[in-house]
Amino acid sequence: MSRITACLQRLQAKSRKALIPYIVAGDPNPGFTVPMMHKLVEQGADILELGVPFSDPMAEGPVIQLAHERALLHNVSLRAVLDMVKEFRQQDQQTPVILMGYANPVHIIGYQQLAKLAAEAGVDGFLTVDMPPEEATELHAALKAVAIDIIFLIAPTTTEQRIRTIADMATGYLYYVSLKGVTGAGHLDIDSVKEKLAQIRAICSLPVTVGFGIKDPASAQSIARFADGVVVGSALVNRVVELNAVDEQEQIAQSTQIISDMRRAIDAV
């Protein structure tokens, strides 16, 4: 059983929902990431998503695009991100870590080598935004061989047949994009999300998390009423930027307060 599945099963047994913060590895600097990861767990995160810096992050809105740019200024590569996970694992062997990124860095390293390095580092899953199931067969096989989950996005426009295709390959959980557009954009239509999750669950038994557009404890709580997990990215990344004038330790402490607030809101469901 993967670390992701074990985590989600433990939460389900306690009737709790997963809180999954997303940060871009290396933003605002490489030394910030691992302490931030530990603080996020301390504040109530169940699973961590680390964005792998990329020059053309097509799914991201302005907030996270700029985070990618800041990380790239420090030359943070996929291999550097793996080193960060390895460092995190020196103190935390339990919290699942997902790498969320784009196909180009994955292709450069190669599927077999990436799977080997990721397993050694302690990575639990990959979500490669621009790699649909039809193109992920080799990556899926390489990751499966080392017990690393492969996670896919489902959009509001995804058809029932397409959901079946995605579900046939996905492991760990499914990530439902709550709105049309990029991260941090738009207004959540709670009823539409609820309706789509019911359609997904009629097809697939994997847990379903929801992200894109979750900005505060109230929206996190609304989604947690029917999702298995809530993903927050832009709101957290933006908070880090707003606090760039304070010292780094305080920046980490204050920016992660939103995760603590969301944890309380979700647990109140």
Mean pLDDT of 225-229: 96
DSSP string, 52-113: PP-S--TT--HHHHHHHHHHHHTT--HHHHHHHHHHHHTT-SSS-EEEEE-HHHHHHH-HHH
Q: Which residue has the higher pLDDT, 58 or 156?
A: 156
Asked whether residue 179 carries a pLDDT value surpassing 80, the answer given is: no
Asked whether residue 181 carries a pLDDT value surpassing 60, the answer given is: no
Rounded to a whole number of angstroms, the distance between the first and last alpha carbons of the chain is 28
Asked whether residue 182 carries a pLDDT value surpassing 60, the answer given is: no
Asked whether residue 62 carries a pLDDT value surpassing 70, the answer given is: yes
Looking at residue 57, what is its pLDDT?
Answer: 80
Instruction: Tell me phi and psi for residue 45, to 5 degrees.
Output: -70, 140
Asked whether residue 133 carries a pLDDT value surpassing 70, the answer given is: yes
Confidence label for 180 from pLDDT (cuts 50, 70 and 90) = low
User: Which helix or strand (DSSP H or E) is residue 149 part of?
Assistant: strand 149-151
Model confidence pTM above 0.85: yes
Asked whether residue 124 carries a pLDDT value surpassing 70, the answer given is: yes
Mean pLDDT lowest among 94-103, 209-218, 251-260: 209-218
Instruction: Report CA-CA distances (Å) from 142 to 112, 157, 226.
Output: 6, 29, 33
Confidence label for 224 from pLDDT (cuts 50, 70 and 90) = very high
Mean pLDDT of 251-262: 97
Taking a C-beta distance cutoff of 8 angstroms, is the pair 125, 96 a contact?
A: yes
Asked whether residue 184 carries a pLDDT value surpassing 50, the answer given is: no
Q: Where are the chain's structural domains?
A: 3-267
CATH code that applies to domain 3-267 = 3.20.20.70
